[in-house]
Chain A
């Protein structure tokens, strides 16, 4: 069974531009969440989607947004990029939302560099 797939794996953008990252969850998984990882802040939760609805949102500015499609695939968008947005963006999927037994599976991540 294929794991969580993220595209692109690496990208470089210029300050002020916007970027869209894509995530395909494990087949059958309906919950998708996104995390940002930087050396200074570590792994931080961005948002979670389930059945095309955002369930939870972390403490990030409105420049960070996401959506989920009917096939559970998800995208996240960052507008007006800043140098500090350079990070590894991780997508994770799980079967369902709201379960304490949920095992969450992560993708390899998308490395974003803002110059």
Chain B
């Protein structure tokens, strides 16, 4: 299995940045790192993905370590709507994603 390791839970104050870490030591050189999040009672939502260099989009930034064995999802200003379970996954080319347990992010008003 294409396994990743994430902390079970994290907390952040509203309007502050959040750094969600992920370890993926078994990733191969061509696997992309994908992040999804799942809000209560909804399907997972795509957040961002990258291969080697750091990536930004309107939702978040993704910082990938030089050896690619870890990455960090950065939410620049957490809002209450960002409270969700965040999953770090690496895409091996088959669409059978292995989700793991993810990180439950709590945003404190």
Contact = CB atoms under 8 A, between A and B. Distances in A.
Given A42-B99, A42-B101, A43-B99, A100 B44 contact: no
Interface of B: 30-32, 34, 36, 42-46, 49, 51, 87, 91-101
Which of B95, B96, B97 gathers the greatest number of chain A CB atoms within 10 Å?
A: B95
Given A56-B94, A100-B32, A100-B93, A107 B49 contact: no
Interface of A: 4, 31, 33, 35, 42-43, 45, 48, 55-56, 58, 90, 92, 94, 97-109
B91 A106 contact: no
Contact of B49 (A4, A33, A101): A101
B96 A108 contact: no
A35 B44 CA distance: 11
Contacts of B32: 100-101
Contacts of A4: 43
B42 A108 contact: yes
Given A35-B97, A43-B44, A45-B96, 5 more contacts: A42-B99, A48-B96, A100-B51, A103-B49, A106-B44
Contacts of B100: 42
16 contacts: A4-B43, A42-B99, A43-B99, A45-B97, A45-B98, A56-B94, A58-B96, A90-B44, A92-B43, A99-B93, A100-B93, A102-B95, A104-B34, A106-B44, A108-B42, A109-B42
A26 to B, nearest CB: 12
B43 A107 contact: yes
A102 B46 CA distance: 11
Contacts of A92: 43-44, 95
A48 B94 contact: yes
A98 B43 contact: no
Nearest to B44: A106
A101 B91 contact: yes
A102 B91 CA distance: 8
A36 to B, nearest CB: 11
